[in-house]
Every structure is written in C-alpha cells, then in structure tokens.
Structure 1
Amino acid sequence: MSFNGQSFNGIHHVTAISGPARRNLAFYAEVLGLRLVKKTVNFDDPGTYHLYFGDAAGAPGTILTFFPWEHAAPGRLGVGQTQETVFRVPEGSLGWWAHRFVEKGVPHETITRRFGESVLAFKDPDGMRLALAGMPGIGDEPAWNGGGVPPEHAIRGFHGVSLLVEAGDKTGAILTDVFGYAKTATEGTVTRYAVPGNPVGGIVDIRAAGGFLPGREGAGSVHHVAFRAADDAAQEAMVARLREHHGQRVTEQRDRNYFRSVYFREPGGILFEIATDVPGFAVDEPAESLGQALKLPAQYEAQRARIEAVLPALD
C-alpha cells in the first residue's frame, strides 16, 4: 500500500505482556537504549500502564509496547504465538551488543546466521524472545542516544517478527495479498516474507510447527502484532480484502489516540492489528518531551487522581 508515492507496508508496532513496570522500563530504556515515547494506560484496563518504546520520534516500525502487570504469570511459547521479535542494528554492532549483554547479565546466545544475516538472540527479564539482526547500510539512519548506547550501535527499529503456527499457508496468503509482503526464501521449516525495499519492520518469518503444544499467554508473551496503514482509507481497503478474499472477521475501528486500529485473529491463531500511521505520538505532547508525562484518554481524565494512585511508581 502506498500514499503519495511513499510505502507504508510493514510492521507498525508489537505489543507484549510483561511483569513489573519498573523492571520493564529499566531494561528497554537503560539496557537496550530505546526511548520511552509514550506513558499511558491500557485503554481497556486503566489501572495498568501501557508503555511505548521506540526511536526518537516514535516512528511506525520502531514501537514495542507493553502491558506490564506486576504479578503476571509467565507465558509459555507454543503454536499460535509470535515466537521472536527482531530489531535492526548496524551490521558491525553485534559484537558490541554481545559484550554489553555479558556486562548487563542478559541471557543471550552466540551470533548465528539466518537467511544470510548475522543474528544475536537474547531474552528480556520476563523471558520474551528477542534478537538483533546486523544489517548493512543503516548506519546513517537516525538513532536515539539513550541508556548509554552510542548512536553508532543503537537499535534502528524492527527487522521483523517470527510466527509459530500449525501451518503457514493461509497466514502467508494474508501477508502477501493484504499487507504487501512477498515470499522470498525458505530455511527448513521457516518461510520468509519480506516487503520489497527492505523497510523498517519489513520481515515476517513463519515457522510451521505442526503438532506443537498451543501457547499460553502471560509475561514474556507477545499479545499482538500490528501492521501499518497510511490512513483510514488504506485501512478500510485492507479490511475489505480480509473479509472478501480471506473470510476474516474484523473488529470495528477503535481510536487509540495515536493511531486508529482494527483487529482480527489470523488463521494461525495470532492476533493481528492494522494501525494507521496517523496522527502519531506527538499529538498530545511535544516531540522533545515524549514519554515524560502520564497521558490519559479523554474518557479517563476525570479519574486521573485515582488512576495515578493505583499505578506503580516508575522513577
């Protein structure tokens, strides 16, 4: 899908579940060096934070968000879940990151090769599966200078995600027909789908894992993966294709303040979202102070004092 000649294909954001909010913030801001671009609440559970991490501007394709529940039970990876969330870093930075993970006590694996790319897999404090992919030609892209991570090694948004499903054909058909991906390669049981031009968030790997146990959602689990739509019209076109070509049931549009969303459960059982690029995260606070103040949707503003009293301190 394109708008005024600009591509808007790829991942918009990934939302996951974590344990304590303070620990989550410390890891993603101080270890990975991401910017906290929005501090708000779960619109469906205002007694819980919704934290958004990304690049300096909170650009689509860079945003990892969390619902942090203080006493969340651990999830269990299985069929019908996102297996891994992968960030992009400059090609020569993986050694620096491996050393940082040793220093910070972050569980990680040795650097391996996947689809011709060098990848460093690791886990966050809740056991969420993450990885860094070393990518050529991205060293000049803007980078957030946070958490003691030098800009030359900083994360440059998402590389992509890997999905664990019983069989991947129907999921792949939605990626290609609705979201603009193309099947590009296969390694073993993993099929890679990519957006032409290698944009941020342009990779989805589908692992066919027939016979595996279904997953159990909890801390360390991805709740949903959101794909980009330039605007409402682009989103409506995607919804029409989902319904007419793939028989999908899609929710009504929901206003999330920073984007507008629809949701559906893709054939492999994973919750997908389509999120608009507009209006963006600077709609209710200046870009230079993103993430500093607690932002509430209008329907909860009258309850601010009660909500702030319930939410755990992050400082």
Structure 2
Amino acid sequence: MALVNGFHHLTMSTDGAQEDFDFYTKTLGLHSVKRTVLFDGTIPVYHLYYGSPNGDASTIITTFPFRKPGVYGRRGTNQSRAIMQAIPKGAAAFWEDRLNAHGIAASRVARFGADRVVFAHPCGIVHELVESDGDSREPIVNAAMGIGREHGIKGIYGASVAVMDRTAMDEFLTIALPLEKEADTHEGLVFRVPDTNGVVQRVEVLVDRDSAQGTWTLSGGTIHHLALNTGDEESQMKLRAHIEGLGFTDISEQKDRNYFKSCYVRSPGGALFELAWTTPEGWAKDEAPGEIGKTLVFPPWFKDREDELRAGLEEATFQ
C-alpha cells in the first residue's frame, strides 16, 4: 500500500489578503473553503483556503497573506518555485486570454512535453496551469465568474522546485517519500506522485546554480510548503518513521491543524514538504457542510485570543 496518495494541498506566503482572495476566487474561479488564522507563533495572520466547493483533497491551495512593512521573502534557488494546477486539454488558450484580460501577464509555454500557461500571483509567485488529459477529477466550475466545465481548474497538478544539487533531491524524492522518477533531461527531473485514482500529479525539479538562496521564513512572495496526502494517521506515522530512519532528521512531530494532522520535513533541496491527512470531520468541524469558507473561524485553543487576533488582522471584505 502506498504511503502517499496524491497531493493534499499547497501553501504560500502571499501579500494583501483582499488581493489574494480576489485572485483565487474571481480570476481563477476557486471557491473559499476556509478562513482562519495562522496557528503558529503569536502574530495575527490570516490562513485562507481555496479549492473545490467541498474542499476535496488535491484541489486545495492555501495562503498566509502577510502584508507587513519590510517583511518580504526572497525567491531564489533551493526553494519551491512554482505552483501548478491542472486544466482540461485544450483549455490553455481560454486561460491565456482570460488572465491577460484581467491585467495579469500570461504566456503559453511547453515543458516536459506538457502545454501550460505561465503567470504570477500579485505577490510574484509563479503559477502554471498545465493541460492534463490524465485527470479524472471534475473541473471546478464557477458560473458567477464565467468559468465552465470545459475550462475549469481540476486541482493540483504539482509544483516545481529549484535546486543546486539535483542528485541530493533525486535521492530524497525517490527514496524518502518515495515518488517515481519519470524523466531526467536537460530541462530537469520529473517525479510522479502516487495516486490510487490514477490522477497525474508531479514534482518537477529544475537546476538553478545562478540564483541566490531563497528564503524559508514565513514572509510574502514565497511558497511555504508542498503537502502530500497520506490518507490516514497510520500511513503518516509510518512514512515519518521511514524518512527519519534514513537520516532526514529535520522533520517535525505531528501538529494538529484542526482540520487535518501534519508533519513537516525539509528536503536537502530546500523545499519544505508536509505529510498530511484530513480528520473525519474535516472542513465541517466548525462550519456546516455546504457553508464552509464563509466566515472567519478560530481553533478552540485560540478561544481566549479571538478579540486580539481580529484586531490585529488586515482589513478585508472577502467579497
């Protein structure tokens, strides 16, 4: 039995909360799945979740909007570089036109044999919409935003990671996680993420020995982590033990994220990976099914800090 079953979510540190919400819900047509706050540290920061209407695993993009003067990340090497989402075959032209019409510069390119539309989040993080015919997931429809089934984003395709040492990253992804190496070319390396439904999801590794080291702190303009779905706690703990037993000891204990449980491991290529599984209640733990993502909610352990956190959060209407 595979200990990884597709992606769970991808997480970024962005900039303004309202521009982040508008980008994902209005431009890309994703749905608000959860509005809460960063569970770590003491600084009030939103944690926003976007994806399919029901918040299905492998569709979730999450962000920490972090508009703080002088606190901004540096994009570089030894760091996750791009967020990739799958779109139906033939939908690239629609998205190129739509994004440019919204004032977001977008262009079509091909890499590793896949056609894709490349553009950037307002905070600068590169995004790619990749045409994928190996994807049985239903497209995310948002009629109010003019996005129908023939063009809607299907969910996570994967992410690219920039590294200086391709060999060390190759060993980590194939031995520690483990993923399946599909390609090793002048463009870089491609690894398939196991998925029992046969959905094509990948990690692409690009060699970059020229850029400066990217930052790993929680600061705007950078990708924070890539979360793989272990399905349940048993698989998570087995995979954690396997990774630590190989000597990758930069791995966390399990953390309670209210809707899922997580362990984090820093790869030798710099990218932070998460091992995650959704708890039985999932997103409906504090909002009714069908009504998720519509209110600002706090975990039980922040009950005595709600007023303080609300007062410190950036103003946003989320409309």
**TM-score, normalised relative to structure 1:** 0.91
CA offset digits 1:54-74 (Å, max 9, x no partner): 112212211111111123644
**1:190 Cα deviation from its structure 2 partner:** 0.8
**1:185 Cα deviation from its structure 2 partner:** 1.0
Aligned to 2:116: 119
Moved more, 292-301 or 194-203: 194-203
Aligned to 1:98: 96
1:287 to 283, 286, 289: 289
Name the CA distance, whole Å, in 1 between partners of 2:287 and 2:35. 11
8 Å Cα contact 2:177/2:243 also seen in 1? no
Name the CA distance, whole Å, in 1 between partners of 2:159 and 2:13. 16
8 Å Cα contact 2:230/2:277 also seen in 1? yes
Aligned to 1:19: 15
Name the CA distance, whole Å, in 2 between partners of 1:8 and 1:263. 14
The one-letter amino acid of 1:299's match is W
The one-letter amino acid of 1:232's match is E
The runs of 5 or more residues in structure 1 that have no matched partner are none
Moved more, 144-153 or 59-68: 144-153
Aligned to 2:212: 213
Residues 1:76 and 1:46: Cα distance change in structure 2 (over 3 Å): closer
Residues 1:201 and 1:262: Cα distance change in structure 2 (over 3 Å): farther
8 Å Cα contact 2:260/2:278 also seen in 1? yes
Name the CA distance, whole Å, in 2 between partners of 1:66 and 1:164. 20
Name the CA distance, whole Å, in 1 between partners of 2:302 and 2:200. 32
Name the CA distance, whole Å, in 1 between partners of 2:17 and 2:132. 31
Aligned to 1:235: 236
In the alignment, structure 1 residue 250 sits paired with structure 2 residue 248: no
The one-letter amino acid of 2:50's match is F
**1:88 Cα deviation from its structure 2 partner:** 0.4
The runs of 5 or more residues in structure 2 that have no matched partner are none
CA offset digits 1:144-203 (Å, max 9, x no partner): 425332232111111110101111223222322343421111231410001356855720
**1:213 Cα deviation from its structure 2 partner:** 1.5
Name the CA distance, whole Å, in 1 between partners of 2:43 and 2:293. 17
In the alignment, structure 1 residue 147 sits paired with structure 2 residue 145: yes
2:189 to 191, 204, 207: 191
Q: Look up the SS of the partner of 2:310 in the other structure.
A: helix
The one-letter amino acid of 1:230's match is G
8 Å Cα contact 1:75/1:221 also seen in 2? yes
In the alignment, structure 1 residue 158 sits paired with structure 2 residue 156: yes
Identity %: 33
Q: Where do residues 266-285 of structure 1 align in structure 2 (5 Å cutoff)? A: 266-279=267-280, 280-285=282-287
**1:221 Cα deviation from its structure 2 partner:** 0.5
Count of residue correspondences = 310
Name the CA distance, whole Å, in 2 between partners of 1:266 and 1:38. 28
Residues 1:262 and 1:183: Cα distance change in structure 2 (over 3 Å): same
**1:313 Cα deviation from its structure 2 partner:** 3.2
**TM-score, normalised relative to structure 2:** 0.90
Aligned to 1:83: 81
Name the CA distance, whole Å, in 2 between partners of 1:139 and 1:231. 22
8 Å Cα contact 1:11/1:61 also seen in 2? yes
